[in-house]
Amino acid sequence: MREWTSDDGLVLRYRDYPGRQDRPPILCIPGLTRNARDFEPVADAFAGEWRVLCVDLRGRGQSDYAKDPASYVPLRYAADIATLLDQAGLERVVAIGTSLGGIVTMLLAAQMPDRIAGAVLNDIGPEIEAAGLARIRDYVGQGRSFPTWMHAARALREQAGEAHPDYLIADWLRLAKRLMCVGAGGRIAFDYDMKIAEPFSAVPTGPAPDMWPLLHALAGRPVLAIRGELSDILSPATLARMAVEVPGLESISVPRTGHAPTLEEPVAQQAIARLLGRVAEAG
């Protein structure tokens, strides 16, 4: 793990898989309750030909927890990633963002368009379905823990079974080991600060912000939008509109998968490979 320091003094960490230096590195930004381990399939598939960086956002994995939970918001995450780019000397990156990470990717494109060489938005778009948000609010920050990995895997299956209807228990075990860690007293728990739920669960007032201009900021570079066929976060209508709003955007659907695809699915990896090919050709 490598590290960088946020402008409010947190030590944040990321995995750095080596790859070719003549291409912009892949920068993987995880979802709300996820961490750098979530992108092991991307690193396994593309590291070597591409340098792959997988971050732990503040409050996740091996990064520091924030003193003020109010900083667990997309604008702050985007500022942290911008600081990483500067401290690591990364002029341009190919951003792969899952869910929350996709929102952060769009924010970065709006704030520093020259730094984004291409982007993958994994099961997220400018409009987020209310049913999916309600489902996430129901479980985030609960602080549950489990005595064994098998208990953890079964609990994860109970929580997210509709998103991965074809998973066997071995698949749930693999996913649990990405999302959880062994904590105090040997109990297994989700690998994030439970206080990330505080700003996320706050009751919003007024209309939802218009995020379409953030998507427009990605225009002019290779963009891939991935949707899980069973997703309750990204609707088919929003995905279709994204392809219209950003000319050249490729959109795909991952069969029998909900929120969010793990990016180990063959159709997802093939699409990411096509996007990377476009980035390489653009130079």
In a domain, 89, yes or no: yes
194: nearest Cα among 268, 152, 250, 144: 144
pLDDT tens readout for residues 117-152: 999 999 999 999 999 999 998 889 988 999 999 999
119: domain CATH number is 3.40.50.1820
| CA dihedral of 225, 230, 235, 237, whole degrees rounded to 10 | 90
Question: Are 119 and 93 spatial neighbours (Cβ–Cβ below 8 Å)?
Answer: no
Q: Is the pLDDT score of 194 beyond 70?
A: yes
- Please give the DSSP secondary-structure letter assigned to residue 271: H
Q: What are phi and psi of 211, to 5 degrees?
A: -95, 0
State the pLDDT confidence band at 183, using cuts at 50, 70 and 90: confident
- Domain count across the chain: 1
Q: For the chain, how many residues are written?
A: 283
In a domain, 145, yes or no: no
Q: Is the pLDDT score of 203 beyond 80?
A: no
Check residue 76 and give left, alpha or beta (phi > 0: left; psi -120 to 50: alpha): alpha
Mean pLDDT of 80-99: 98
Question: Are 36 and 56 spatial neighbours (Cβ–Cβ below 8 Å)?
Answer: yes
State the pLDDT confidence band at 169, using cuts at 50, 70 and 90: very high
53, two tokens: 């960086």
Q: Is the pLDDT score of 206 beyond 70?
A: no
In a domain, 165, yes or no: no
**Helices 100-111 + 74-88 axis angle, to 10:** 60
Question: Are 269 and 41 spatial neighbours (Cβ–Cβ below 8 Å)?
Answer: yes
Q: What are phi and psi of 80, to 5 degrees?
A: -65, -45
pTM: 0.97
Question: Are 87 and 4 spatial neighbours (Cβ–Cβ below 8 Å)?
Answer: yes
DSSP, residue by residue, 97-131: EETHHHHHHHHHHHH-GGGEEEEEEES--SS--HH
State the pLDDT confidence band at 184, using cuts at 50, 70 and 90: confident
Q: Is the pLDDT score of 185 beyond 90?
A: no
As a whole number of angstroms, the distance between CA 232 and CA 241 comes to: 17
What is the rounded radius of gyration, in angstroms, for the C-alpha atoms of the chain? Answer: 18
In a domain, 170, yes or no: no
In a domain, 176, yes or no: no
In a domain, 47, yes or no: yes
State the pLDDT confidence band at 283, using cuts at 50, 70 and 90: confident
As a whole number of angstroms, the distance between CA 144 and CA 155 comes to: 10
Q: Which amino acid is at 91?
A: E
In a domain, 135, yes or no: no
Domain with 267 in it: 2-130+196-282
In a domain, 183, yes or no: no
